[in-house]
Structure 1
């Protein structure tokens, strides 16, 4: 039997061992670029634990600061919901003109912080008031149909059709969901079905209670950024909602960044009259920042510290850029990461209980790093020759002394912050605020130099010497309250002396009151009448008063006031010296303000000009290496066009510019300069040139001009 043979084979391939792709962790990124990898894991762990603690405390602080305004909002919403459910006369009077309960939440210009506030508000509303909460942003509500669709979709969770002509691909992909028409009547039917199925008939309600009935919860719509919404869209939405307020317990919350008058500017009277508006004012961002600095920076709880220049950079970015406390905390996080990443000795930046173990694990290289610290060198110069030899030769001796230095740093911080607060209490109410109105200003002054050497400090002490008794005693009592915790022996001793001074002031008040009472009892009835005198007697009495003023002695109160101020001055000189006077302060303090400013305070114009004039700086391609002031002909087109435009005047001829560009590109392609095609403009070069010029125009270096049709105007001067 003839058969046609077809060769067949079975080949076995052994599966190669596939290398699993290792996913990078945060610790891996932390390790990259570190100078010392010996203790990098310990430093990362310390950094992570410290940041987790700061983050937790920040969240708690944020909740505490927002608690008052959020509680007021909840009370307002509960009250409106209760009146709607009970159909009381108060609600009828509110709704006589179809008014919608509206809360105008003024949050300030620190827009980056608003998300946290609205997130907390939404969580609180869903937890204690209603599950029906919708948050809207202007960028997703460009038209009324989009706004309505967002509201209904987030409430009902259904695929909605805005109109019959709208594309229905989105609905067809979700076949298991019910498709409904996008309108408030649909929402009204859905809400009635939800509340009727959840209701329990016959349940009695207490008229005195204002707690929310979970069977008729309100529908809250939050407009996060009111100023960014299209006024026409907002007006139409309010007009539609006003027709359903008798069927739906609708409530609106407006997030306002500028001023409450924005509502009147955006809405005409015919629309704003449909709203029953109540204003809620949040805590100002400057007060929020002061609280954050007080809880996170002016405390000995966290070992990580900021130098005066670094803190000044963060505060300046806050005051002159965004007023965002959230960005301030991010800057603090960046400083924390930079410190633990770039400083190998930051392994000692830990709690007091962990210092001994970390000092014992220091390597020989770490000990050498300790010896290179400026504070260590200053300490060695002040020691005896024998001690200097020990410090420079014995690693074990350095480790033993490091433990003492770290403990002294902890004691320094525990004494520093209470005395700083006491000085701020005494000087924050003085005229013109010589040492600053905020405690952060005084803190920065103390970090940079000896504060008692400043003229402002001397001026403050002179003003304190003129304080009245009541003001001085009140300030000293506040200082006593600050010193009461008494974490160190020196603060407890200072508290004892301060209480003794206050006791002397109290005795002085009692003695003055007794003298006044005795004088009133002993004075005869007619002693207070004026006596008849002549010119000679008047001259004699005036000369006697003048002599008495010259030889006047200080009163008991003035002596006691001077004694109190001398005591305060001694505390300042003892405890408010700059931290760089402490040995090994570099372990705790981050001082690279230039790095922090470069990361946080961006300069886009400088970066763009650097990229265009020196593309190698970013691309790191060796073919782009050139002498300073020149650009390689192999550079990107926009760099070549940018370099050529620097050689032109105020008006640039586009044809000449194109000819020059074509010549440079021909040289980059390696064409013979003597050939006929060298420098010739073809379609490809023309298109590349047009694209590069369009990019320069987009970046703002040139613009079209009506002076000459074939020219563009240059908008910059000089190069990078």
Structure 2
């Protein structure tokens, strides 16, 4: 048998190949492992580094949630108020008749059939029912009405849906029952135990997704209960994002005669997304960590192209914040107190952390000088810029530099926070001007199609969105600051041209809008505030004088019209001069607030733009994770035998990797094709002797031979020739000249299992040969033997 197997192996070893992956795909598998830096290099074990990073993450996550709640409240508040008013009006109305209707009957006269009793129903169309709307409705209705919500999964059958409806309604009363047999039987008469005059709001979420028969049966059962009972009033909420026609397709004509549908249109998802982004970047409660332009583009693509829900967008933002505070050692600065002692800082971070801070401070240059020094003069302590730079560089050992960094870290962070506030004020000011000019009808034609006040971050982005995305860029390209400055100047020129077309009333309305919430007073310069107030008062005074001229022209029929016209021309000239001064001041103010060419130090601690790893977390690629685990199994598997006890254990031999990792390592280092026989030979050579478990008989013999009291019993000798050959083979195996046949079979089995695991993972490309043919020509095995 062995000779036939060996004879079969000869001609097939050079023809049995398995295709391998290309070299380019192998290099991409290590990106995931390399994207997670080891923070132990910067933070001391037992220090406050993780605590500071977690505190910063909690604050940033709460800020992002506040932005989402603020944006939803601004959009959904009118809808929630309308629905609340609808429920209040429906609960106060009294039906004129009280006739029972049999759903199976249909007649032309509605009054005779009792269908005049209709259930008031609100149909929510235009967009999917957001969780914020549900929470807002529950908050508005709790305490006044009883709110019950049923999902499509709850409507598998009529008894199941009614059982949940009754159970949820009774749970809100707090009443206890000795038996729940009626609840199990889905008896709607139990609703009579609700307080007198109560109103029950039943929300049937995803109504078109319900089974047509179940949905019709539930509505007809509720109507039958209301028609023949003096219990609570019932109001239905039906959800039809695709429009009320999709709801009409699943409701029978007999059911439609039982309900009175009022349609409410929910805000579109585009508007919700853009308002959330506006709050996230321009709102007062925006998180300290600012999402970069690539992250913003990832959110936009996932929402508009992949069609995810707005709640998933918020989760993506929280995941980005979590990843930022997990991998960025500088993020610990966001949880730092105002004053930190040098001893506390040294107990928290290693010297590599201060070196990283120094590199970021010295690396952010503008024309060879620190741009932030123009803003944060207190940190220089009266020194010149060159002297302060030499202080940051420090001595050769960096001791003095580290001490100065510890002392000046709070000042740097305050200056960075000040920079962020000023940029946010500048963007909000620019956005308000864009909104006001669009409303006045003097904006460019490409902005007319966008919704009023929106950032237009959709697929057809306008100049406002392009400007914001451009200002968020943090790459190190040579022309990045130049392109940002050019784009900003283009937007300001367009806005300045639009301001020149405004009249006195429109200009006054513009500044009233800008000054409505004290936006201009949030600027850091008192000179800007005083000039702003003076310009606004000048515009208002000009508006008042214009009204007086108009009244004089209308009232003076006999006065000299020439004198009035001359005065009006002089005032118009003065107004044009004031408007030109306002235009110049606005352009300069926005340019000073935004400062597109400046990137302050430590900006990376408050900016996240690692979209590659974020995308792998959102849409994980199993193949990448499998290949990383096969390449570096120690990052996923920690054997229990390894324990860090003392320094001698460090010299202990590392455990051998799993068989599948050994086989994959040989596989990925091969060329385009790998010979299966050569692959097995390399695997056999790579397997260490310690990996091969010894037979139990050999272990027992060695244990007996090592015993000092017992002597191994002699083996009965057989003088036949075959036994002599076997004894010779045993001697050869003991001398290590050739592996034992049992161990050889075990290596083959383990190699076959490793190949099978790689095949199940989908990492092996199949050849056109049949699997049983390959097994028979290599090992003389069939597929059933494995």
TM-score by length of structure 2 reads 0.62
Q: Does the alignment pair 1:72 with 2:91?
A: no
Is the Cα contact below 8 Å between 1:409 and 1:582 reproduced in 2?
Answer: yes
Equivalent in the alignment of 2:772: 662
Q: How far off is 1:613 after superposition?
A: 9.0
Equivalent in the alignment of 2:235: 251
Q: Does the alignment pair 1:443 with 2:463?
A: no
Q: How far off is 1:520 after superposition?
A: 7.7
Equivalent in the alignment of 2:198: 217
Tell me the SS of whatever aligns to 1:97.
coil
Q: How far off is 1:510 after superposition?
A: 4.9
Equivalent in the alignment of 2:252: 268
Q: 1:493 to 1:260 in 2, by over 3 A?
A: farther
Separation in 1, partners of 2:281, 2:335:
15
Q: Does the alignment pair 1:423 with 2:441?
A: no
Q: Does the alignment pair 1:320 with 2:305?
A: yes
Equivalent in the alignment of 1:565: 583
Equivalent in the alignment of 1:474: 509
Q: 1:385 to 1:498 in 2, by over 3 A?
A: closer
Give runs of aligned pairs for residues 433-582 of structure 1, distance below 5 A.
438-439=454-455, 441=465, 442-448=467-473, 449=481, 451-454=484-487, 455-483=490-518, 486-490=521-525, 492-512=526-546, 555-578=573-596, 581-582=599-600
Separation in 1, partners of 2:623, 2:245:
42
Q: 1:493 to 1:281 in 2, by over 3 A?
A: farther
Give runs of aligned pairs for residues 159-198 of structure 1, distance below 5 A.
177-180=179-182, 186-188=187-189, 190-192=190-192, 194-195=193-194
Deviations 1:551-582 (Å, cap 9, x if unpaired)?
A: xxx94443333221211110122111248621
Tell me the SS of whatever aligns to 1:103.
strand
Tell me the SS of whatever aligns to 2:339.
helix
Q: How far off is 1:275 after superposition?
A: 0.4
Q: How far off is 1:609 after superposition?
A: 6.2
Equivalent in the alignment of 1:537: none
Is the Cα contact below 8 Å between 2:485 and 2:597 reproduced in 1?
Answer: no
Is the Cα contact below 8 Å between 2:75 and 2:267 reproduced in 1?
Answer: yes
Q: Does the alignment pair 1:368 with 2:384?
A: no
Q: How far off is 1:278 after superposition?
A: 1.8
Q: Pick one of 748, 751, 755 that aligns with 1:635.
A: 755
Q: 1:344 to 1:527 in 2, by over 3 A?
A: closer
Q: How far off is 1:155 after superposition?
A: 4.4
Is the Cα contact below 8 Å between 1:102 and 1:277 reproduced in 2?
Answer: yes
Give runs of aligned pairs for residues 41-120 of structure 1, distance below 5 A.
41-52=51-62, 54-55=64-65, 58=68, 62=72, 66-84=76-94, 96-106=115-125, 108-109=127-128, 114-120=130-136
Is the Cα contact below 8 Å between 1:80 and 1:91 reproduced in 2?
Answer: no
Equivalent in the alignment of 1:202: none
Tell me the SS of whatever aligns to 2:244.
coil
Equivalent in the alignment of 2:13: none
Which 10-residue stretch deviates more, 639-648 or 449-458? 639-648
Q: 1:57 to 1:662 in 2, by over 3 A?
A: same
Q: How far off is 1:139 after superposition?
A: 2.1
Separation in 1, partners of 2:185, 2:225:
11
Deviations 1:292-322 (Å, cap 9, x if unpaired)?
A: 3344432455432222322332233223333
Equivalent in the alignment of 2:334: 349
Give runs of aligned pairs for residues 380-391 of structure 1, distance below 5 A.
381-382=368-369, 385-391=386-392
Tell me the SS of whatever aligns to 1:128.
coil
Separation in 2, partners of 1:224, 1:403:
51
Which 10-residue stretch deviates more, 247-256 or 567-576? 247-256
Higher relative contact order (CA 8 A, sep 6+): 2
Q: Does the alignment pair 1:407 with 2:414?
A: yes
Is the Cα contact below 8 Å between 2:120 and 2:261 reproduced in 1?
Answer: yes
Is the Cα contact below 8 Å between 2:84 and 2:141 reproduced in 1?
Answer: yes
* Aligned length in residues: 561
Separation in 2, partners of 1:321, 1:339:
24
Q: Pick one of 421, 424, 432 that aligns with 2:445.
A: 432
Is the Cα contact below 8 Å between 1:78 and 1:129 reproduced in 2?
Answer: no
Deviations 1:437-470 (Å, cap 9, x if unpaired)?
A: 6347243233235654124544443334333443
Equivalent in the alignment of 1:392: 393
Q: How far off is 1:69 after superposition?
A: 3.0
TM-score by length of structure 1 reads 0.67
Give runs of aligned pairs for residues 273-352 of structure 1, distance below 5 A.
273-299=257-283, 301=285, 302-322=287-307, 324-350=309-335
Equivalent in the alignment of 1:147: 161
Q: 1:73 to 1:371 in 2, by over 3 A?
A: same
Q: 1:181 to 1:475 in 2, by over 3 A?
A: closer
Equivalent in the alignment of 2:601: 583
Q: How far off is 1:229 after superposition?
A: 0.6
Which 10-residue stretch deviates more, 377-386 or 269-278? 377-386
Gaps of 5+ in 2: 1-35, 101-109, 172-176, 371-384, 395-400, 458-464, 474-480, 563-571, 637-660, 680-751
Separation in 2, partners of 1:299, 1:579:
23
Is the Cα contact below 8 Å between 1:297 and 1:305 reproduced in 2?
Answer: yes
Q: How far off is 1:240 after superposition?
A: 3.0
Is the Cα contact below 8 Å between 2:282 and 2:425 reproduced in 1?
Answer: no
Gaps of 5+ in 1: 1-29, 158-174, 196-213, 529-553, 649-655, 686-720
Equivalent in the alignment of 2:708: none
